[in-house]
Structure 1
Amino acid sequence: MDKGEHEQRLFNDVQLVLESKIEEFEYYEFTKVTKEDLWAFAKRKFWKKKSFEELQLHQVIADLYAIAPSTYMSLIQVEQFKSENWFSELKKEDLEQLLNPK
């Protein structure tokens, strides 16, 4: 079984856990979070340096249940701040005026 198949099998095995976390997020009015979003978050937060072959099902479940809505939103916001180009809509002249007003 290759890496992708093992990851997909784990993802399929924890569907009930992910649905439970989605319900928790919805309780706190975070309605746009999907199971795939939570899975991707867990991959970045908990399993970045691990291969899916070495992950145990109980560890994956515990990690998913450990995701707090506030932690999730904080990390997502930080990632967005890092990735966005804040001045993408400004022209070069506008940017120069903003940074070096006369």
Structure 2
Amino acid sequence: MTNKNQPAESRIYSDEHGNHFKMDVIKHFSFGDKQYVLTREQRLHHHHGESCDCHDHHHHRAETASEDLYVFEWCDGPDGPALLAVSEATLKALEPFLAGLEN
């Protein structure tokens, strides 16, 4: 897990529809011959009110953290590390391993 005094390592994940999500890496781990990461999405919100246009210039971290965790394959590419979606079959195979990470 990441140290609370240390900034989280973040990566952008782009899905098959072109949507981009900023993900905080919580833990790196190996399973089989591949590298994976456990992540949490950085949720952004706007707290100044509807008439404020500051969202055009900056974002704010959500005050309530999402507990939704995501697993990605960690792949080193020409542009640096990338997050790759994993299949349902891979997630099923990782279930017992992931349960051990929570302890």
Shorter chain as normaliser: what TM range?
A: under 0.3
Q: TM-score, normalised by structure 1?
A: 0.28
Q: TM-score, normalised by structure 2?
A: 0.27
Which protein has greater RCO, CA pairs closer than 8 Å, 6+ apart?
1
Structure number with greater Rg is 1
